[in-house]
Amino acid sequence: MIGFLARRLLSALPVLFVVSLVSFIIIAIVPGDVTAEIAGSDSTEAQRMEIRERLGLDRPMVEQAVRWYGRLLQGDLGDSYLLNMSVTDAVLERLPVTLSLAAIALVLAVVLGVLLGIVAAIRHDSWLDQGSMSLALFGLSVPDFWFALILISVFSVGLGWLPTGGYVPASESFLGWARSMTLPALALAITQMGVVARMTRSAMLDVMSQDYIRTARAKGLRRHSIIFKHALRNALVPIVTVIGVMTGVLLGGAVVIESVFSLPGVGRLIIGAIQRRDYPIIQGGLLITAATFVFVNILVDLAYGWLDPRVRDGR
């Protein structure tokens, strides 16, 4: 297991290198004079010069890259132009909101998706099967940010059950927090719910036709014990393998959903930074989110290696 962990960590290094390089390049591809974008069109040449110097943009590209990596290795991602704080602090402060949103959505997607998938599989070719799969396909096809707006107009504007947006920290009021996270998590979960439902259905259909299920039936086991104890356990293996990928999609999707619901997460921070041309925040937000994703993937792989010894003993 230690060897597996070491291998996995080592293989993350080149990925992190590419991630950091891309994050560095983001500022370089901004067309025209970045400082004019930052300082505004009515800025004087002296103001721009000062910004250029402060950011080290007057130096050659290679030197800028060396500096970027020098600071990066010390965990320093520079300072926000506008927030008056370091990028690392700004991003890390908001990361928990994004992570909890993605985590709730992940749980919702897996639970709802697996349920839909089971229903579809055990009532194969019935109207329940078609209904569940239509729902799954609908989830896969709607834009999640649009679905978020529809949820708002039904449950917040129409029925007035839940807030249209805003965030209540769990430390202040757990109920308030749960209310503020319900719609965002639902909106975010819908696509992945469709993915999970379809996978569960085809895995269940696969498993249900196998010999050991017939044996279990022949033994006279109860139907629900066959489905949940024998079949589902094996059908869930492919789901575990895609949890890593799903987390990535959810983290990325959270960026948009946060800005729809005005949740103070990394996503809204990045989108706000895009509108106000706060490039270090864009750069740092991108880097930290991607690094988080890489880290989550390692955790998922470890969990998978723990579940399935064939994985950790290597290819």
Partner 1 sequence: MAVEIDSETLSLRREIARARRRGWMLFLRRLGAHRSFRVGFALFSLIVLLAVFADLIAPYDPNKNDYRSLLAAPSMQHWFGTDGFGRDILSRVIHGTRVSLGIGISVVVMTGVFGVFLGMLAGYVRWLDNALMRIMDGLMAFPGVLLAIALAAALGPSALNAVIALTITFTPRTARVVRSSVLVIRELPYVEAAMAVGAGHARIIFRYILANALSPLIVQLTFVFAVSILAEAILSFLGVGPPPPAPSLGNIIAEGRNYLQDASWIAFFPGMAIAAAVLGLNLMGDGLRDITDPRLSAKRDAG
CB of 84 to partner 1, least distance (A): 22
Strand partners, 79: 86
Closest distance between partner 1 and the C-beta of residue 161, in Å? 15
CA distance 35 to 53: 10
Closest to 120 (Cα-Cα) out of 235, 67, 197:
197
Q: Which single residue is written with the structure tokens 């891309």?
A: 22
96 within 8 A of 90, measured Cβ to Cβ: no
Least distance from partner 1 to the Cβ atom of residue 218, Å: 27
Looking at the Cβ atoms of 21 and 107, the one nearer to partner 1 is 21
Residues contributing to the site for partner 1 (CB under 8 A) = 14-19, 21-22, 26-27, 29-31, 137-138, 140-143, 145-147, 149-150, 152-153, 157, 164, 195, 198-199, 202-203, 206, 238, 241-242, 245-253, 255-256, 259-260, 270-271, 274-275, 279, 282, 286, 289-290, 293-294
Number of H helices, E strands in the chain: 15, 0
Decide whether 181 or 250 has the Cβ nearer to partner 1.
Answer: 250
Shortest distance, position 109 Cβ to partner 1, whole Å: 12
The pair of structure tokens assigned to 289 is 């989110």
For residues 182 and 262, which CB has a smaller minimum distance to partner 1 in the complex? 262
Q: What own/partner pairs with CB < 8 Å and gap ≥ 24 does 155-159 have?
A: 155/183, 156/183
204 or 216, CB closer to partner 1? 204
Q: Which is nearer to partner 1, 168 or 245 (CB)?
A: 245
CA distance 197 to 211: 24
- Residue ranges with strand state E in the chain: none
- Read off the tokens for 248: 């990535």
Least spacing, CB of residue 110 vs partner 1, in Å: 13
**123, 205 contact by CB (below 8 A):** no
Instruction: Give, in degrees to the nearest 5, the angle at Cα 86 between 80 and 89.
Output: 120
Cβ closest to partner 1, residue 1 vs residue 137: 137
Report the distance separating Cα 265 and Cα 164, nearest Å.
Answer: 16
Closest distance of CB 282 from partner 1, Å: 6
Q: What are phi and psi of 86, to 5 degrees?
A: -75, 150
Helix (H, G, I), strand (E, B) or coil at 179: helix
Taking the least distance from each CB to partner 1, the nearer of 69 and 177 is 69
- Measured from the CB of residue 76, what is the shortest distance to partner 1 in angstroms? 20
